[in-house]
Amino acid sequence: MEKHQQQELNLVPTNDDTEALLTEDIESDNELSTLLDQTLAGITDYMTEEEATEYIARILDGVEIESENTLFENVTPYIPENIKITNYRPDQAVREASLAQKNMWKPGDGEISYLASNTLEVYLGTPERPLEIPQALKQIRQLSESTVLTARIVLGLWNIRRHNDRVSKNGSVAILLEEILQWQGVQKHSRVAHPGTTKRYTDGYRTEQKQRVLQDLALLASCNVRGNCTITVKGKSVSIQVDGTYMRYSVVSRKTLLNERIIVGFLVSPGDWISTYEQHQNYYLAEVDSQIFKLNPQNDRYALRIALYMTERWREQAKQGDFSTPIMMSELLAASMIEVDERHMTSRFVPRIEASLEKLESMGIIGKQICITDVDRNQTRWSKDWLASRWEILPPLKLIQEYQAMNNPLRKRVRNKTRTREREQQ
The DSSP line for 8-56 is -SS----HHHHHHHHHHHHHHHHHHHHHHHHHHHHHTTTS-HHHHHHHH
In a domain? residue 236: yes
Residues 288 and 300 in one domain: no
Degrees, nearest 5: CA angle 355-356-359: 85
Q: What share of the chain is helix, strand, coil (3-state, %, to 5)?
A: 45, 25, 30
Least confident of 38-42, 152-156, 195-199: 195-199
Among the candidates 293, 312, 335, a domain finishes at 293
Q: Tally the domains of the chain.
A: 2
Give the pLDDT score at 409: 57
Q: What percent of the chain has pLDDT over 90?
A: 54
Residues 6+ apart with CB under 8 A from 266: 174, 175, 176, 177, 217, 249, 250, 251, 252
Residues 320 and 407 in one domain: yes
Furthest C-alpha separation in the chain = 74
Residues 286 and 333 in one domain: no
Residues 394 and 331 in one domain: yes
For residue 186, what is the DSSP state?
P
* Interval 109-139: pLDDT, tens: 889 999 999 999 999 988 888 888 888 999 9
Residues 216 and 230 in one domain: yes
CA-to-CA separations, 190 to 181, 185, 196, 198, 408, in angstroms, rounded: 16, 15, 16, 12, 47
Instruction: Read off the pLDDT of each residue in 181-191 and give the average, rounded to a whole number.
Output: 83
Contact (Cβ atoms closer than 8 angstroms) between residue 112 and residue 135: no
Domain span holding position 233: 25-193+207-293
Contact (Cβ atoms closer than 8 angstroms) between residue 131 and residue 152: no
Q: What is the DSSP string of 102-142?
A: GGGSEE-SSSEEEE-TTS-EEEEB-SSSBPPHHHHHHHHTT
For residue 412, count other CB atoms closer than 10 A to its CB: 12
Give the pLDDT score at 254: 77
pLDDT higher than 90, residue 366? yes
* Closest to 227 measured CA to CA, from 59, 105, 107, 113: 113
Residues 287 and 301 in one domain: no
pLDDT higher than 60, residue 61? no
HSE at residue 377, side-chain half, CA atoms within 13 A, is: 9
Residues 159 and 263 in one domain: yes
Q: Which CB contacts under 8 angstroms, 24+ apart, belong to 113-121? A: 116/92, 117/92, 117/335, 118/89, 118/92, 118/93, 119/227, 119/228, 120/89, 120/90, 120/92, 120/93, 120/225, 120/226, 120/227, 120/229, 120/242, 121/93, 121/225, 121/226, 121/227
Residues 289 and 331 in one domain: no
Confidence of residue 24 (pLDDT cuts 50, 70, 90): very low
Question: What does the alpha-carbon distance between residue 414 and residue 281 come to, in Å, rounded to a whole number?
Answer: 13
Instruction: Read off the pLDDT of each residue in 65-69 and give the average, rounded to a whole number.
Output: 54
Among the candidates 293, 312, 346, a domain finishes at 293
C-alpha of 50 from chain center: 30
Among the candidates 270, 293, 316, a domain finishes at 293
Instruction: Read off the pLDDT of each residue in 361-382 and give the average, rounded to a whole number.
Output: 94
In a domain? residue 199: no
C-alpha of 253 from chain center: 23
In a domain? residue 269: yes
Query: Residue length, the chain?
Result: 426
Among 125-139, 230-244, 274-288, 374-388, name the most confident range. Answer: 374-388
In a domain? residue 7: no
- Do β-strands 63-65 and 247-255 pair in parallel, antiparallel, or remain unpaired? parallel
Instruction: Read off the pLDDT of each residue in 295-319 and give the average, rounded to a whole number.
Output: 95
Residues 336 and 370 in one domain: yes
Give the pLDDT score at 244: 92
pLDDT higher than 80, residue 200? no
Q: Which of 376 and 198 is assigned the larger pLDDT?
A: 376
Residues 61 and 172 in one domain: yes
Give the pLDDT score at 132: 87
Q: Which of 65 and 215 is assigned the larger pLDDT?
A: 215
Residues 284 and 316 in one domain: no
Q: What percent of the chain has pLDDT over 70?
A: 82
pTM of the predicted protein model: 0.83
Mean pLDDT estimate for the chain: 84
Confidence of residue 207 (pLDDT cuts 50, 70, 90): confident
Confidence of residue 203 (pLDDT cuts 50, 70, 90): low
* Interval 321-343: pLDDT, tens: 889 999 999 999 999 999 999 99
pLDDT higher than 80, residue 183? yes
Residues 114 and 144 in one domain: yes
In a domain? residue 202: no
